[in-house]
Chains A and B, each alone.
Chain A
Amino acid sequence: MKKKGKGISSIGYATGFFGGADPNQAEISIKMDGTFDLLMGTSDLGQGCKTAYRQIAAEALDVPVESIALNNSDTDFIPMCLGAFASRATFVGGNAIIAACEDLKRKMREFAAPMLEAKPGELEIGDNKVFVKGNPEKSVGMADIGGASNFGGAYLIGTGAYIPPGPMSPDPKTGAMPLLSAAAFAACVVEVEVDTETGVVQVLKSTHAYEIGKAISPLICKGQINGGAAMGIGMALSESAHPYWPSVDFPADTLGDYVIATAADMPVEDHYEILEVPHPDGPYGAKGFCEMSSNAQIPAITAAIHDAIGVWITEFPTTPEMILRALEDKER
C-alpha cells in the first residue's frame, strides 16, 4: 500500500567561520579600454561566487557587469581568501570587493579631476563615467580614463579587505561565543509517499522559503536551492559511507553503493521562494546561505514519513529496510 504524509522543518544557518576573523582581500583595476580586472582568491566550486562577485563590483562601480573580467586562478597574483567554505564567500568576499571598488573610485576621481578641471571631491562616478556633481554633461567615460591612465604612466588599482570581528574561542565554562557574521533562515514543507511493501520513500512535493538577506544573484541562489534539495533527499533516504554499519567490511566504493539522489528521486512538484531581510553588515544586505539548502529536507522527510506510517524513525539515511522493520515492529 502506498501512504502519503506531510512534514515540515524550519532551520537556520550561520555565515562565516565559527569564532570569526576569517578574512578576504579583493583587487580591481581599470584596463586600457575602460573595462576592469577583478582578482579574487576564492575558488568557485559551482556555488557561483564568480558571478556574484562580478555583480557586486558592477554595482559598486556602476559599470556594466560585462565589463568586469574575473580571475581567481593562481596564488601568485590572487588576493588572499581564507577559503570557499562556511557559506562565507559572498558575505566576506563581497565586502572586500566593495572596499576595493571604493578605493578605485577614489583614485579615478583624483585622476579625472584635472581632465574635468574640477576637484576630486566635486566628482561622482556613475553610469560608466566620472562626472561633475550636478553637471553630468561634464564627464569623462571609463574608456578615456582607462586609456589615459594606462598609457599615461598611471596605474589605477583599488584594493580592499574585510575581516569579521574575532577571533574568539568558546568560553571554557559556558561555551559562550557571541560572535556571528550573519544567520539565514528557511522553512520547508515536504510531501512523501511511502510504499509499505517495499519500504521505498518517494518525495512527491517540496516547498521551500529561504530568507537569505539580499539575494545578490537570484538565479545562482535558485540553483543552490535545487541542488541542495537533491543532496538533502540523498542524505535523508540513501547516502551512507558504511551501508552495512556497524560492519565496516563493505564500505560504499561505487556510486551504486553510495546512492546519491538522481533526477528520478526529485519531487515532481518543487516550489521555492526567496525572502530578503537585509543584514546590516552584509554586502548590499546579503547573508551567506549556500550550505543550508541541504539541511531542511532531512527532518521534514522524517516528519513526513511519520505522518504517512505513524512511526518516528530518527536515523538517517532512512532506508527501505528501516521502514519495513519499523512497520513490522509497529504491528507486533
Chain B
Amino acid sequence: MGKYIGQPIPRYEGLGHVTGTTRYVDDVSLPGMLYIKALRSPVHKGIIHSLDVSAAVNMPGVAGVITAKDIPGQNAYYATDQPVLVKEHIRYKGERIAAVAAVDEDTAQEAVEKIKLDIEEQAPVFDPFEAMKPDAPKVRPEGNLWEFNSGRRRVLRKGDVEKGFAEADEIVEHRYVEKMNDHAPMEPHVAVAYIDENDRLAIHTVSQARHFHLTQLCPVFNLPISKVHLIGGTVGGGFGGKNEMQCEHVAGVMALKLRRAVKFRLSRKEDLLYSTKRGAFVFDYKSGVKKDGHVTAHQVRGVHDIGAYHTMGEYAVEKQCLYLAGPYAVPNVWYDGHAVFTNKPVASSMRGFAVVNVTYASEIQMNLLAEAIGMDPWEIRFINAWRDGDTAPTQWKVVAAGLIESMKKAAEMDGIELPEHLKAMSSRRR
C-alpha cells in the first residue's frame, strides 16, 4: 500500500452528493431561460411529406421553433449517421422532428401539439431475424446489415473449429436470448445552452465524453471548436448512455437561433422511451469439450439488434470478440457476428458493453459442457482459465491474469472446499 494509493479515503464530492448541494445540469437556471420540448415521430417508420409549424410559432409564450432546415451545419452526428432533427425518413418511433422553445415546458408542449405533421407510415421491422431476410423492409437504404471490414458480419477465426469438434468427446449446442436494457441513471438527459459574453456557445452537459462530443457538435453548429465550450464533469450516473447526446445538439441550435438561454431536459418517461439502449442479442453456441475438461472449440453465431442507427453498434460486436470464449484458453474459436438495423430506438454503449452479453452465453455454456462430461463447474473453469501467456480469440497474449486466484478466493469466502489440485493452481504461465 502506498501513502495515498490504496487508502480508503472518502469520495471527493461525496458530502455534496449526499447533502444535495452538488449542482447538476438541471440545477442550472439562467435569467430569461426558455424551455424546449420536441416533436417526435408518432410512427416507427415513415416519410415526412410536410411539416407546418406556423401555429406553434404564433402561440403566446413561444419564442421559436426549429426544424431540420434551421441547423447551421450538417444535420448529422456520429459519423454522419444520426440526424439531429429528421427531415424526411423516420426510422424509429420517437425520433426528433422539430423543437419548440417557450417560457415554460407546458407551453412548449402545447405548441408542439399544434405542429401539423403529414407523415406517410411505412411497414417497420422490429425482429432482427426478420430484418436479416432479403425481402425485409429496409431500415436503411444500404440494407439492414452493418458492413464490417470483413463484410456484412464480423468474422473471427482462431484455429480450426472443425478440428476442435473432431477432438471433442461431447458437443453442446445452445441458444441465448438477451433483451434490450435501459441505463436508467438517476439523472435523465438534460442540457442548458446559451451564447456567452464572448459570443461563444456554452452548453452545460451531462456528457461522459465532452471532447469527443465537441468534435461531433461543432459540425452541426458550423462553428470551430474555439467558439463552443462544454461545461460539466459531474454527472448523475451515465452507464454509457451519456456517451450519446439527446439534448445538447438541439439546445445548441436553438440557442444559436434565438440567442437566448435554453434548457432541454427529458422527463423520466421520455428518457426511458427515446434515449439509447443496450442492444438485444441472440447467440447460438456450438462447443466441444474433452472428457478431461479441456474445451476444444466454440462456434458462435451472434445477432446484435442495434436499432435504427449504428452509432456504436458495430463496435459492440467487435469488442465482444475478446470474450467469445470467456476468460478461458480455447484453441479454436469461430464467430460470425451480425449488427442488424431495426426500427427501434438506437442501441449504443452500456456498462459492460456487449461483453456482458457474450459473457452470459459463454459462462452458461461452460456449465452445460461441464454437465455433458459430468464434471464440477468449478473444475472445468480452473482447467481452462486464462493464464499468463495464453492467447485470447483476438490473439491478445494474456498479461497479469487473476482468474484462478479470484475463483479460489470466492470459493473460500463461500465456504466451498475445493479439491487440493485446484487449490494448487495459479494464473502464472502454464
Which A residues are closer than 8 A to B by beta carbons? 7-14, 18-19, 41-46, 48, 50-51, 54-56, 58-59, 62, 65, 70, 72-76, 78, 80-86, 169-170, 172-180, 182-189, 207-211, 213-220, 223, 228, 231, 235, 239-242, 245-246, 248, 251-255, 258, 260, 271, 273, 275, 277-280, 284, 287, 290-292, 294-296, 298-300, 302-303, 306, 312, 314-317
A-B contact pairs, 20 of them (CB 8 A): A8-B381, A18-B318, A45-B242, A51-B9, A54-B12, A55-B4, A70-B12, A75-B229, A172-B148, A174-B157, A180-B392, A185-B386, A187-B411, A242-B179, A254-B268, A255-B272, A275-B406, A290-B351, A298-B359, A317-B179
A239 in contact with B181 (CB, 8 Å): yes
Asked if B235 CB lies within 8 Å of chain A CBs, one says yes
B385 in contact with A10 (CB, 8 Å): yes
Interface centre among B156, B394, B405 (most CB of A within 10 A): B394
Q: Chain A residues with Cβ under 8 A from B377's Cβ?
A: 8, 303
Asked if B425 CB lies within 8 Å of chain A CBs, one says no
A59 in contact with B13 (CB, 8 Å): no
Asked if B21 CB lies within 8 Å of chain A CBs, one says no
A50 in contact with B13 (CB, 8 Å): yes
A10 in contact with B407 (CB, 8 Å): yes
Alpha-carbon distance A169/B318, docked complex (angstroms): 9
A59 in contact with B5 (CB, 8 Å): yes
B394 in contact with A314 (CB, 8 Å): no
Alpha-carbon distance A55/B7, docked complex (angstroms): 8
Q: Chain A residues with Cβ under 8 A from B323's Cβ?
A: 12-14
Residue of A nearest to B154 (CB): A175
Interface 9-mer from B30-38, B98-106, B202-210: B202-210
Alpha-carbon distance A257/B9, docked complex (angstroms): 38
B410 in contact with A184 (CB, 8 Å): no
B238 in contact with A255 (CB, 8 Å): no
Q: Chain B residues with Cβ under 8 A from A300's Cβ?
A: 363
B353 in contact with A291 (CB, 8 Å): yes
Q: Chain B residues with Cβ under 8 A from A207's Cβ?
A: 410, 413-414
Asked if B72 CB lies within 8 Å of chain A CBs, one says no
B210 in contact with A277 (CB, 8 Å): no
In the complex with contacts A178-B397, A316-B178, A189-B155 CB distance below 8 A: no
B402 in contact with A211 (CB, 8 Å): yes
In the complex with contacts A176-B395, A231-B351, A187-B403 CB distance below 8 A: yes
B327 in contact with A175 (CB, 8 Å): no
Residue of B nearest to A49 (CB): B12
Q: Given contacts A82-B212, A180-B392, could you give 6 more A-B pairs where the C-beta distance is less than 8 Å? A: A51-B10, A62-B3, A176-B395, A185-B403, A186-B406, A219-B11
Distance in angstroms from A165 CB to nearest chain B CB is 12
Alpha-carbon distance A246/B234, docked complex (angstroms): 37
Distance in angstroms from B149 CB to nearest chain A CB is 5
A175 in contact with B394 (CB, 8 Å): yes
A280 in contact with B400 (CB, 8 Å): yes
A85 CB contact (under 8 Å) in B209, B233, B363: B209
Interface centre among B11, B359, B410 (most CB of A within 10 A): B410
Distance in angstroms from B82 CB to nearest chain A CB is 18
Which B residues are closer than 8 A to A by beta carbons? 2-13, 44, 93, 126-127, 148-151, 154-158, 174-182, 184-185, 207-212, 214, 229-240, 242-243, 268-269, 272-273, 277, 315, 318-319, 321-323, 326-327, 335, 344-345, 349, 351-353, 355-356, 359-361, 363-364, 367-368, 377-378, 381, 385-386, 392-403, 405-407, 409-411, 413-414, 416, 427
A219 in contact with B233 (CB, 8 Å): no
Q: Chain B residues with Cβ under 8 A from A215's Cβ?
A: 6
B413 in contact with A273 (CB, 8 Å): yes
Alpha-carbon distance A185/B355, docked complex (angstroms): 13
Q: Chain A residues with Cβ under 8 A from B327's Cβ?
A: 10-12, 183, 185
Alpha-carbon distance A84/B235, docked complex (angstroms): 11
Residue of B nearest to A169 (CB): B149
In the complex with contacts A175-B335, A179-B396, A189-B410, A44-B181 CB distance below 8 A: no
Q: Chain B residues with Cβ under 8 A from A41's Cβ?
A: 210-211
Interface centre among B4, B327, B363, B398 (most CB of A within 10 A): B4
Q: Chain A residues with Cβ under 8 A from B356's Cβ?
A: 235, 291, 294-295, 298
Alpha-carbon distance A262/B220, docked complex (angstroms): 40
B235 in contact with A44 (CB, 8 Å): yes
Alpha-carbon distance A186/B272, docked complex (angstroms): 31
A299 CB contact (under 8 Å) in B179, B273, B364, B396: B364
Alpha-carbon distance A47/B160, docked complex (angstroms): 41
In the complex with contacts A74-B231, A217-B9, A275-B364 CB distance below 8 A: no
Alpha-carbon distance A317/B9, docked complex (angstroms): 36
In the complex with contacts A207-B413, A219-B11, A8-B378 CB distance below 8 A: yes
Alpha-carbon distance A24/B3, docked complex (angstroms): 25
Residue of B nearest to A72 (CB): B233
Residue of A nearest to B200 (CB): A76
Alpha-carbon distance A73/B231, docked complex (angstroms): 5
B269 in contact with A86 (CB, 8 Å): no
Interface centre among B148, B238, B386, B397 (most CB of A within 10 A): B238
Alpha-carbon distance A79/B122, docked complex (angstroms): 47
Interface centre among B126, B151, B185 (most CB of A within 10 A): B126
B150 CB contact (under 8 Å) in A80, A172, A180: A172
A189 in contact with B416 (CB, 8 Å): yes
Alpha-carbon distance A180/B395, docked complex (angstroms): 10
Can you list the 5 inter-chain pairs with the closest CB atoms, starting with the nearest?
A83-B209, A211-B402, A175-B156, A12-B327, A299-B363
In the complex with contacts A10-B381, A219-B9, A258-B272, A46-B214 CB distance below 8 A: no
Alpha-carbon distance A248/B4, docked complex (angstroms): 51
B360 in contact with A316 (CB, 8 Å): yes
Distance in angstroms from A124 CB to nearest chain B CB is 15
Alpha-carbon distance A315/B364, docked complex (angstroms): 11
Distance in angstroms from A170 CB to nearest chain B CB is 6
B409 in contact with A51 (CB, 8 Å): no
Q: Chain B residues with Cβ under 8 A from A9's Cβ?
A: 359, 363
A302 in contact with B364 (CB, 8 Å): yes
A10 in contact with B208 (CB, 8 Å): no
In the complex with contacts A43-B233, A189-B411, A216-B5 CB distance below 8 A: yes
In the complex with contacts A43-B210, A45-B235, A214-B6, A277-B405 CB distance below 8 A: yes
Q: Chain A residues with Cβ under 8 A from B207's Cβ?
A: 43
B209 CB contact (under 8 Å) in A43, A76, A228, A317: A43
Distance in angstroms from A260 CB to nearest chain B CB is 5
Alpha-carbon distance A294/B321, docked complex (angstroms): 19
Residue of A nearest to B416 (CB): A189
